[in-house]
Structure 1
Amino acid sequence: MKILVIGGHGTIGKKVTAHFSEANEVLVAGRSKGDILVDIEDPASITKMFEQIGRLDAVICIAGEAKWAPFNEMSEADFHIGLNSKLMGQVNLVRIGKNYLSPKGSITLSTGILADDPVVMTSSAAMVNGAIHSFIKAVALEMEKGIRVNAVSSGMVEDAYEKYKDYFPGHNPIPMKKVVNAYVRSVNGRDHGRVIRIYD
């Protein structure tokens, strides 16, 4: 398969990229480095990326930002960071990317445990993740040519434990192999309109 991984140099992305590269042609896209550059906040940049790459069998997005801050300190502009990046960035990857997928291809988005089990300072991130969960279920009803769309929602991964452990008191870090397997399930399985949760 020819697979595009957006955010393939991140904590999760590099493990996902390494796995799929064992038996597939994998291209990595990122904002500042990769085989191709893309700004997922800009629909024109997304379109340019797909035009340059051509036909794909699978798209995996492990990218997108959201502001972490106390709710009482959040401005409207702060909320728009997540809305423009992690939410609409991924929505536009589906909206535009479906036109470049082979029949029965797949698109996998990424969210996280905050949609279901938020912690303090995550009102924006939790909101965006929850919106993507609803989007996945709805857009699956209208996809054509057998194209499947899923989302992987993980808890705090073990490779990010030291960085984020103070934000997630009492949470058990998720083994990277379990997280990678969630993306394998989305790409190689038959799930459609599914939020694949890996929380323990």
Structure 2
Amino acid sequence: MHQELAARKHDVVTVSRTGGDLQYDITDPAQVAEMFQTVGQVDAVASAAGHVPYKPVAELTADDYQAAFTGKVLSQVMLVKEGLTHVTGSFTLITGVLAREPIVTGAAASLANGAVEAFVKAAAIEIAPQRINAISPTVFTESLDVYGDFFPGMKPVPLADVVQAYVRSIEGRQTGQIYVP
């Protein structure tokens, strides 16, 4: 995504826990606030972060569900909340196919993805003129060797198609959309 956006004349600042231009943990709301103070005004935020546990429902604990919520939902919600005074254009969050097509061991992921999608639709009607959308891919073609068995019968999506969905969200005018590449 970074290379495509840079090629389209965007100045890109990458953030992750351990790499990128800046190191922040978006599961920590204080670090999200600090990140925006460091970066200042930006046109857009694009999130591709989110971690959830995969276990059978009978084995999922309250801590597992909390980890899914914190790792994928709350982290992205706080990106939006803290970014409202720093982002002039759009927020693009990541969700996934499990919001609408559950798999065995994916209950926590389905819960988190569905929550992100509901938040995007709700936030869109409140944050105008800023925009918010989400990208909801299936399994990436490039990761089929590792994750393909978890997504039987689902058509994989090339990473390049996912990147184009981010471009559409960032450069387009729509809001409250869930893009399915």
**TM-score, normalised with respect to structure 1:** 0.88
Q: How many residues are treated as equivalent by the alignment?
A: 180
Partners of 1:169 and 1:193 lie apart in 2 by: 29
**What residue number does 1:3 align with?**
none
**Which consecutive aligned stretches of 4+ in structure 1 deviate over 4 angstroms post-superposition?**
none
Partners of 1:58 and 1:117 lie apart in 2 by: 29
**Structure 2 residue 172 is matched with structure 1 residue 189:** yes
**What residue number does 1:58 align with?**
44
Gaps of 5+ in 2: none
The alpha-carbon deviation at position 178 of structure 1 amounts to 1.4
Q: Of Structure 1 and Structure 2, which has the larger fraction of its residues in strand?
A: 1
The alpha-carbon deviation at position 171 of structure 1 amounts to 2.0
**Correspondence list, 1:21-32, <5 A:** 21-22=6-7, 23-32=9-18
> Partner amino acid for 2:36?
F
Gaps of 5+ in 1: 1-15
Q: CA RMSD in A?
A: 0.9
**What residue number does 1:166 align with?**
149
**Correspondence list, 1:1-200, <5 A:** 16-22=1-7, 23-102=9-88, 105-144=89-128, 146-198=129-181
> Partner amino acid for 2:54?
W
> Which secondary structure state, in structure 1, belongs to the residue aligned with residue 105 of structure 2?
coil
> Partner amino acid for 1:112?
G
Give the fraction of aligned pairs with identical amino acids, expressed as a percent. 37
> Partner amino acid for 1:156?
V
Partners of 1:87 and 1:156 lie apart in 2 by: 19
